[in-house]
Amino acid sequence: MNVELVSIGDELLLGYTIDTNATFFARAAAELGIRVVRRSTVGDTAGEIADAVREALDRTGGVITSGGLGPTADDLTKASIAELFDRGLALDEGIWEALQARWKARKWPGEIPLANRTQALVPVGATVLTNRHGSAPGIWLEDPEGRWVAMLPGVPREFRGMTTDELLPRLTARMAATGASGLVVRSRTLRTTGIAESAIADALGKLSKDPMGVALAFLPGWEGVDLRLTVTDLPAEVADAQLEIAANALRARVGPWIYGEDETDLAGLVLDALRAMHRRAAVAESCTGGMLGMRLSAIPGSSDVFAGGIISYDNEVKVRHLGVRESTLRAHGAVSEETAREMATGARTRLGVDVGIGVTGIAGPSGGTPEKPVGTVWVAVDVLGNVQASRISSVGDRAEVRQRGTQAALALLLRALETR
Amino acid sequence: MNVELVSIGDELLLGYTIDTNATFFARAAAELGIRVVRRSTVGDTAGEIADAVREALDRTGGVITSGGLGPTADDLTKASIAELFDRGLALDEGIWEALQARWKARKWPGEIPLANRTQALVPVGATVLTNRHGSAPGIWLEDPEGRWVAMLPGVPREFRGMTTDELLPRLTARMAATGASGLVVRSRTLRTTGIAESAIADALGKLSKDPMGVALAFLPGWEGVDLRLTVTDLPAEVADAQLEIAANALRARVGPWIYGEDETDLAGLVLDALRAMHRRAAVAESCTGGMLGMRLSAIPGSSDVFAGGIISYDNEVKVRHLGVRESTLRAHGAVSEETAREMATGARTRLGVDVGIGVTGIAGPSGGTPEKPVGTVWVAVDVLGNVQASRISSVGDRAEVRQRGTQAALALLLRALETR
């Protein structure tokens, strides 16, 4: 099945917003054998929207739009596409009631604004796609020849949720009905951390180019280097088997650095390991300022093994709340192995848990010295009194130094827990 | 001047790569008064590339392509566009020599691969655009009617460098020659928080549609709703004056919710306010788990006014490290105004600073009750013993509840500091 995407919004066209919706849809659709053959982006102009959708319909017969469904005057998607299909707009009572209920639930002051009423307008004969992630419902509009447009909101969380909940099941059913299914694009991503991209390439040798006939992409980021394997235009079972063979070949070479696959989050693995051992953890953060706690608490249900911690941005907080010795700070400095170790131990003992994690570093842009340049981060973990530490040197901006430091602390803890 | 962008590459179409080139070009071009009226993305298929470029040329007469200029078999841009312009390809000796020199300089083993020779092929009659950032040169191709295509490489560093070095100067000169110069696109963004999109629309009334003849976009996100004003095709001074008038009109209606303009970060404003008052702050975080500390410490130089804080994810940490009373937790629960207030005060007194900020809430997805549904967050600030609190009800996932809670805490503190 071939489809096109039309992304709508001046902010996309002007470059103020990066279009992650189109990216999300293309990846999810490829998994089902739906091919996006073209993507277009137009501004909030009725004529441009109608032109782009009409041209896309002429090429493929199926179009997904994102954006332009909000309550304000610059939201023109529904009206311009309804006109293209020669349909009027009518108020949908169900949507209007849901919008009013939503307004009440949020406890905003006053009555629901009249502007919201336009969100309840639906082209005559269209199907409403339920939005469980926001206020603007989606619309499915189809003409007698079977040409269709699915209109989704532009807010990424809503677009993604509705693609998963509503759109993909509908397209899958449609393909099954027309017998258009079969060949798929499949990919698997092996996630590494703690090893450089070029070191992986060296370790892989010839395998770094199309291992076992499967396309391989190196995707470096602050979490580490992801290795993406992709096969295209194969029956699903053949694709999966090829990916399995290629993944095993990579694991044989760089297995120790692989911590998971696809969307695996290192923080989730750490929480799982703690849970399996019935141990609880706390953090002591300096340069990361709370990022490590944020990562751990981002995962639902983390409270059973994550107690909290101390953000010891100031040295006085390190001394008073974590028990770091003033002599240690004087002798070795706040960014040192010794301080990181005492922070980890302080987090463990002061919060009365089994595991402490300490992070201290120079996030920049200033504050570096020849011995401790910007990007120097010490991480330490204390597991029941057994302390380990590790130093990382990041090249990158302040945000990246903090992200890499956080990731390194999680990696060190996971290894320490696994080897116990 | 109107132009279109055509981005070329299977990786873009499949969603493995996000198209930052188009975004970069659109922003840079708008500043010069060049308007991108549509962006299209097609795969590495000769027919698709030619179709997209031909259609875009028919609409605007000027097209910039990115991608498909590499040395491998899937790089089809030059060949398909040369065919569209009815031109052959010929070897450019200058490019070929430069490629050979580049190969030698990089000290790759062996002779330069023949595949690189295709990079030295140029459509007959085309102008070569020098690439000082990589190996693939760009191409400018123009027909007798003055319709043109500029082909740039897809590697972001190369695309950006060549846009700046080669393309924008050329387009500027072209506009000057055709008398189309002098008109610009300018925008200003007013950032609001704590008010719903539709409530802003109501407060603005008729102004919500093109205030003072200036285009207005509503951009809702977890930080709040941004209001972007944009004027197009005006001389720079007129554009700036119109924006000023429109911005003032919006400020008159929704001023209390506006915290800044453009890229302003609420955390930065809070740090500035603290600095101006010579006050230091600390945080006490429950549901946000460190996110508030992370926001404050993300800004370089924050350490002079941000001391750190306590991540009291566990109730025991609230009691032991923040001095929240057990009777308060029993009577009102961990998510309550009373607990938030005691957390703020605990952060202030326990860390020995002037200002404490407390956040406690139900981030979900579970843990909600009818009285306190998921998304309920209490924030409190204690400024020298003067405590204020505020409740927010977010609809959204765990990440969004935490982000909105963090933002609300910063907004409450900023207001408390400003009104002192």
**Window A:219-278, CB contacts with B under 8 Å:** 228, 230
* Digit-coded pLDDT (tens) for B120-163: 899 999 999 988 887 788 999 999 999 999 999 988 888 999 99
Is A198 in the B-facing interface, judged by CB distances under 8 Å? no
**Least confident among A58-67, A213-222, A379-388:** A213-222
- Residues A337-344, mean pLDDT to the nearest whole number: 98
Q: What is the CA radius of gyration of chain A?
A: 26
- Asked if residues A187 and A49 have their Cβ atoms less than 8 Å apart, the reply is no
The per-residue pLDDT of chain A, averaged, comes to 91
- Residues B304-310, mean pLDDT to the nearest whole number: 97
- Asked if residues B309 and B346 have their Cβ atoms less than 8 Å apart, the reply is no
* Digit-coded pLDDT (tens) for B211-245: 888 988 888 888 899 998 988 778 888 999 999 99
Indicate whether A284 pLDDT > 70. Answer: yes
* Domains of chain A and any CATH numbers: 2-178 (3.40.980.10), 183-261 (3.30.70.2860), 266-418 (3.90.950.20)
pLDDT of residue B254: 95
For chain B, the helix, strand and coil percentages under 3-state DSSP, each to the nearest 5: 45, 25, 30
CB contact under 8 A, A38 and B42: yes
Sign, CA torsion A279/A285/A289/A291 = negative
Is B378 in the A-facing interface, judged by CB distances under 8 Å? no
CA distance B109 to B177: 48
| Shortest alpha-carbon distance between residue B129 and chain A (Å) | 24
- Asked if residues A325 and B318 have their Cβ atoms less than 8 Å apart, the reply is no
* Digit-coded pLDDT (tens) for B68-87: 987 777 789 999 999 999 99
pLDDT of residue A182: 66
Nearest to A38 among B40, B316, B373 (CB): B40
Indicate whether A181 pLDDT > 60. Answer: no
Entry pTM: 0.74
CB contact under 8 A, A228 and B300: no
- Asked if residues B72 and B43 have their Cβ atoms less than 8 Å apart, the reply is no
Query: B258 in helix, strand or coil?
Result: strand
Could you tell me which residues are beta bridge partners of residue B308? B282
- Residues B372-399, mean pLDDT to the nearest whole number: 94
Amino acid in the structure at residue B125 = G
pLDDT of residue B181: 58
Chain A interface disruption, residue of B7, B32, B204, B294, most A CBs within 10 A: B294
Q: Number of residue pairs across A and B with CB atoms under 8 Å?
A: 275
Amino acid in the structure at residue B162 = M
pLDDT of residue B182: 65
* Digit-coded pLDDT (tens) for B83-114: 999 999 999 998 888 888 877 776 666 777 77
Nearest to B30 among A14, A41, A316 (CB): A14
**Total count of residues recorded for chain B:** 420
- Residues A133-156, mean pLDDT to the nearest whole number: 92
CB contact under 8 A, B308 and A317: yes
CA distance A305 to A290: 17
pLDDT of residue B267: 97
Interior angle at CA A222, CA A218 and CA A226, nearest 5: 25
CB contact under 8 A, A294 and B297: no
Nearest to B16 among A22, A42, A217 (CB): A217
Is A24 in the B-facing interface, judged by CB distances under 8 Å? yes
Q: To the nearest whole percent, how much of chain B has pLDDT over 70? A: 98
* Digit-coded pLDDT (tens) for A392-407: 988 778 998 999 999 9
CA distance B371 to B158: 56
**Least confident among A263-267, B179-183, B260-264, B380-384:** B179-183
| Shortest alpha-carbon distance between residue A169 and chain B (Å) | 19
CA distance A345 to A358: 8
CB contact under 8 A, A10 and B217: yes
Pairing of strands B224-235, B35-42: unpaired
- Asked if residues B237 and B182 have their Cβ atoms less than 8 Å apart, the reply is no
| Shortest alpha-carbon distance between residue B95 and chain A (Å) | 27
Nearest chain A residue to B6 by CA: give it.
A40
- N-term to C-term CA, chain A: 51
- Residues A170-197, mean pLDDT to the nearest whole number: 82
| Shortest alpha-carbon distance between residue A42 and chain B (Å) | 5
